[in-house]
Amino acid sequence: MTASATKRNAKFPSQSALAKTFHWVNIIALLLMMASGLQIYNANPVFGGRAGWDFPELVLLGGWLAGGRAWHFAIMWVYSLNLLAYGVFVFVTRRWQHRFASSGDLKALRASQNEKRKNFAKHRLVYTAIVPVLLLAIASGLAMYKPAQLHWLAALFGNWQTLRTVHFLTVPIVLAFSLVHSLLALKVGNLRLIKSMFV
């Protein structure tokens, strides 16, 4: 490759087709999980019971409680298996060694004078921190889905109301994450970096 071609490629970040596929499937599955989850929520709001505040039709999926549950429990397979496949991919390709936050990022945040390096550290910390939240959505969801078989898992959350609240809170956390994640991606790599993750 010529020096100018190398320079040109450096300006166009590229992602592997597999990474892009996991990203797309994750976003679509999460949107469907949120919309069907909010449909379930509306049948008996976590906050305030049947008289509690609910969500408008526009953001719901399934039409009614049973429809929402059918969607939720069908898409949970897509969402969970995609996350599992991504985990295997990250492990096998050793991406976890250089794509996720490390102690070097924490050090950079504390001591670096380089703004670019700091933003990069923030970016990696944020997208590393969302992984446990995505897993928490699965763990709390499974505990509600099979409370008899997984009573030990449900017990970790204390009581049913706390379990429901934790599961519900994964929605605003994922939404806030998406916003911060996109803003930091813009900051560290501008629109090209974002585009490279989608096309």
Binding residues for ligand HEM, rule: CB under 6 A, are 30, 33-34, 37-38, 40-41, 46, 72, 76, 79-80, 137-138, 141-142, 144-145, 164, 167-168, 170-171, 174
Alpha-carbon span 80 to 37, nearest angstrom: 15
CB of 37 to ligand HEM, least distance (A): 2
CB of 194 to ligand HEM, least distance (A): 22
Instruction: Give 42 or 108: the residue with its C-beta nearer to ligand HEM.
Output: 42
Instruction: Give 12 or 160: the residue with its C-beta nearer to ligand HEM.
Output: 160
Instruction: Give 150 or 193: the residue with its C-beta nearer to ligand HEM.
Output: 150
Instruction: Give 12 or 53: the residue with its C-beta nearer to ligand HEM.
Output: 53
Alpha-carbon span 123 to 133, nearest angstrom: 16
CB of 30 to ligand HEM, least distance (A): 6
Residues in the chain: 199
CB of 164 to ligand HEM, least distance (A): 4
CB of 76 to ligand HEM, least distance (A): 4
Instruction: Give 90 or 150: the residue with its C-beta nearer to ligand HEM.
Output: 150
Residue 72 CB neighbour total at 10 angstroms: 23
Burial class (CB in 10 A: 0-12, 13-18, 19+), 128: middle
